[in-house]
Amino acid sequence: MKRIGIDLGGTFIKAGITDENNDIIFKGEAPTGLPCPPETVADNIAGLIKNLVADAGLTIDDIESIGMGSPGTVDSDRGVVEYANNLGFRDVHFSDMLRERIGRPIYIGNDANVAAYGEYIKCGEKYDSFVFVTLGTGVGSGIIIDGKIYTGFNFAGAELGHVVIQKDGYPCTCGRKGCWESYSSTNALIRMCRDEMRKDKSSALRRLCEGDESRLTGKIVFAAVAEGDNAAKAALKTFIDYLACGIANVINIFQPEALCIGGGISAERDLLIEPLKKAVEAETYGNCARRTEIRAAKLLNNAGIVGAAALGGIYK
Amino acid sequence: MKRIGIDLGGTFIKAGITDENNDIIFKGEAPTGLPCPPETVADNIAGLIKNLVADAGLTIDDIESIGMGSPGTVDSDRGVVEYANNLGFRDVHFSDMLRERIGRPIYIGNDANVAAYGEYIKCGEKYDSFVFVTLGTGVGSGIIIDGKIYTGFNFAGAELGHVVIQKDGYPCTCGRKGCWESYSSTNALIRMCRDEMRKDKSSALRRLCEGDESRLTGKIVFAAVAEGDNAAKAALKTFIDYLACGIANVINIFQPEALCIGGGISAERDLLIEPLKKAVEAETYGNCARRTEIRAAKLLNNAGIVGAAALGGIYK
């Protein structure tokens, strides 16, 4: 039996059909269509699902269940997107709307939590506690305890990126100051790099971003580090220092059996993941014989689809 | 049927017999006897239990189970104190040792987690998620999720006091810098007060501690605030500011249905708990219709005994 996973974003809806092994066997995407009413988004999702099923040579009856990750606060019990700032939605009964349009069981959850569940599933569901942290324009996170997604009583929890690690520090988009997100997102890495570039006029970064610092990306930073550029190396050192601080915090809170790091830059094993592991170990010395396994994500951009499709398995 | 709860400390062993309502009906204590081998501590605990039962006019067969909270990392599954720095113990099989001596079922857990469970029980076990934070010489904590004590896979989790909130800040006893504990323990309040006293030679604090700042206590600080002393008020304002930052962090992570604050100073409802609630609300503005209930502890020093006694109920 197959399942479908939907990753609802502000610009695109991504969808995939997964098999018994939670592998994606067919993928597709469509524009979200914003700004528009939620009904239109539901129409667009339903249209994408119908096309996907047809293109895969299946019928909707071959699909056991459909899961969706949405930005914002999602009440998984009622199937409601309570509040999603970047979709402009409040109290949208997506489960009902999609069930009407598609006629299959629908499960929804917050996108970061669903992506965490995808990585958890792909790691073999073998960990009794699993924390996923994804480094992108922000710091997203999801927590799996005893095979269940932890969201808190009001579905708004697991926001590890909005833990202040530097009181009165750099302003965060959430309104607080000094959140982990403000120091450990790729945006923060780029900011740190820009600061170093300004101090070091001879940095290779200038050439790599063609003299325009607004063109700096995570990729360029790692390219510069790889060629030994001092400014980029200094920025990455600062970045890893803050990232390790936040990871050590997460370990002291959860002592999860595994902590998985995702986001595009998590592919940088030698330059990011390995030095990070060492820095975290230095911050979590102590008397734990058994230590959290720190690992890089496997699924990257597919985690949302795989996790969403697998939601049907939680409620089975 | 009655149960016994033991609160094992570095100096004293406290014990209580609880009834069906988890109320303590009889209490006693004995010296821990350190420094001595774990066997001697087990003898002392067993002796205390025997005396307590006899003094209450009961026999050991009236006791359904015995629970104990111990400092350090406690493997509740195996009944082993893995590491307790302030007892000087490593890998002590306390459950086996006590079962041999007393012949009743024994359950053990970390003392802060067990105290959290006591407060949870006394709040009616009605919360699906419950975080307990106790402000004493350190910042202790325990997390109850779905009626179970959360400890992480290696029993060393739930250390909310050792979340860095001020990177590279005040040194913590754990070896990190800027832990929440370094800003929100009563020791931190006293330190903040001492700093203010030095700036303000006319502070009433000088009189209240008889000119000897080493005599400052939490009680004295609140007495000075109550009489309107500016230095004490300034210190308390700083203290609440950091405390609210840490509490807001905990809410962003767990969104617990209730967050309970314990420790001696939690009795200061008007001067501490109420202003704290306002400060936390300001830090957690956002779009959650349902917000964590912040409440002061009910049991204070008895939480450890009540929670330990109730451990038998978790495993029933």
Asked whether the predicted pLDDT for residue B30 surpasses 90, the reply is yes
Element of type H or E holding A111: helix A111-122
**Cβ-nearest to B153 among A129, A160, A253:** A129
Report the percentage of chain B scoring pLDDT > 70. Answer: 99
Å between B144 CA and nearest CA of chain A: 11
Mutation target to probe the B interface, by most B beta carbons within 10 A, among A153, A172, A181 is A153
Å between B160 CA and nearest CA of chain A: 6
* DSSP string over B50-108: HHHHHHTT--GGGEEEEEEEESSEEETTTTEEEEETTTTEEEE-HHHHHHHHH-S-EEE
Average pLDDT over residues B266-279: 97
Chain A residues within 8 A of B73 when measuring between CB atoms: 287-288
Overall pTM surpassing 0.90 (yes/no)? yes
Report CB contact under 8 Å: B160, A291: no
Architecture of domain B127-185+232-297: 2-Layer Sandwich (3.30)
List C-alpha distances in Å: A68 to A52, A132, A145, B271. Answer: 15, 18, 20, 46
Average pLDDT over residues B62-77: 96
Asked whether the predicted pLDDT for residue B299 surpasses 60, the reply is yes
Q: Is B107 left (phi over 0), alpha (psi -120 to 50) or beta?
A: beta
Residue type, B12: F
Mutation target to probe the B interface, by most B beta carbons within 10 A, among A83, A131, A252 is A252
B154-196: per-residue pLDDT in tens?
999 999 999 999 999 999 999 999 999 999 999 999 999 999 9
Report the percentage of chain B scoring pLDDT > 90. Answer: 92
Average pLDDT over residues A21-39: 97
In the numeric block, the tokens 């903040």 are attached to: B192
Q: How confident is the model at residue A1 (pLDDT cuts 50, 70, 90)?
A: confident
Coil, helix or strand at residue A307: helix
Asked if B8 and B68 touch (Cβ cutoff 8 Å), the reply is: yes
Asked whether the predicted pLDDT for residue A316 surpasses 60, the reply is no
Q: What is the pLDDT of residue A128?
A: 95
Report CB contact under 8 Å: A176, B289: no
**Cβ-nearest to A157 among B163, B245, B255:** B255
DSSP letter, residue A202? T
Cα–Cα distance measured from residue B75 to residue B72, given in angstroms and rounded to the nearest whole number: 10
Average pLDDT over residues B74-78: 96
* Nearest CA among B231, B236, B217, B238 for reference residue B166: B238
Pick one of 3.30.420.40, 3.10.20.30, 2.30.30.230, 3.40.50.2000 as the CATH number of A126-297.
3.30.420.40
Cα–Cα distance measured from residue B140 to residue B121, given in angstroms and rounded to the nearest whole number: 18
Q: What is the pLDDT of residue A287?
A: 63
Buried b (16+ CB within 10 A) or exposed e, B183-203: bbbbbbbbbbbbebbeebeeb
Report CB contact under 8 Å: A256, B153: yes
Report CB contact under 8 Å: B152, A254: yes
Report CB contact under 8 Å: B242, A167: yes
Chain B residues within 8 A of A162 when measuring between CB atoms: 252
* Nearest CA among B218, B17, B252 for reference residue B131: B252
Q: What is the pLDDT of residue A314?
A: 82
Report CB contact under 8 Å: B165, A165: yes
A38-81: per-residue pLDDT in tens?
999 999 999 999 999 999 999 999 999 999 999 999 999 999 99
Which residue does chain B place closest to A242, by CA atoms? Answer: B167
Report CB contact under 8 Å: A253, B158: yes
Å between A275 CA and nearest CA of chain B: 19
Phi, psi of B220 (to 5 degrees): -65, -40
Asked whether the predicted pLDDT for residue B46 surpasses 90, the reply is yes
Å between A60 CA and nearest CA of chain B: 36
Q: What is the pLDDT of residue B288?
A: 78
Average pLDDT over residues A271-284: 96
Average pLDDT over residues B7-23: 96
Report CB contact under 8 Å: B253, A248: no
Asked whether the predicted pLDDT for residue B26 surpasses 80, the reply is yes
- Please give the CATH topology (third level) of the domain spanning B2-120+302-314: Nucleotidyltransferase; domain 5 (3.30.420)
Helix, strand, coil shares, percent, chain B, to 5: 45, 25, 30
Q: What is the pLDDT of residue A85?
A: 87
Chain B residues within 8 A of A160 when measuring between CB atoms: 252-253
Report CB contact under 8 Å: B157, A85: no
Å between B175 CA and nearest CA of chain A: 8
Domain locations along chain A: 2-121+302-314, 126-297
Å between B62 CA and nearest CA of chain A: 35
Q: What is the pLDDT of residue B316?
A: 56
Which residue does chain A place closest to B166, by CA atoms? Answer: A166
Q: How confident is the model at residue B287 (pLDDT cuts 50, 70, 90)?
A: low
Which residue does chain B place closest to A174, by CA atoms? Answer: B286
Cα–Cα distance measured from residue B83 to residue B136, given in angstroms and rounded to the nearest whole number: 21
Average pLDDT, chain A: 95
| DSSP strands (E only) in A19-105 | 24-31, 63-70, 73-75, 80-84, 89-92
Residue type, B168: D
Average pLDDT, chain B: 95
Q: How confident is the model at residue A315 (pLDDT cuts 50, 70, 90)?
A: low
Kindly provide the ipTM of the predicted complex, given to two decimals.
Answer: 0.96
Indicate if B127-185+232-297 has the same CATH topology as B2-120+302-314.
yes
Query: Is A2-121+302-314 assigned to CATH 3.30.360.10?
Result: no
Q: How confident is the model at residue B315 (pLDDT cuts 50, 70, 90)?
A: low
User: Between chain A and chain B, how many beta carbons pairs sit less than 8 Å apart?
Assistant: 125
Report CB contact under 8 Å: A288, B73: yes
| Token pair for A178 | 């000094």
**Cβ-nearest to B176 among A127, A166, A283:** A283
- Work out the angle at residue A148's Cα, subtended by the Cα atoms of residues A147 and A150, and round it to the nearest 5 degrees: 135
Chain B residues within 8 A of A159 when measuring between CB atoms: 252-253
Q: What is the pLDDT of residue B176?
A: 96
Report CB contact under 8 Å: B128, A153: yes
DSSP letter, residue A292? P
Å between B84 CA and nearest CA of chain A: 9
Length of chain A: 316
Report CB contact under 8 Å: B152, A248: no
Cα–Cα distance measured from residue A87 to residue A107, given in angstroms and rounded to the nearest whole number: 19
Cα–Cα distance measured from residue B225 to residue B271, given in angstroms and rounded to the nearest whole number: 8
Which residue does chain B place closest to A127, by CA atoms? Answer: B153
Mutation target to probe the B interface, by most B beta carbons within 10 A, among A74, A89, A128, A176 is A176
Asked whether the predicted pLDDT for residue A289 surpasses 80, the reply is no
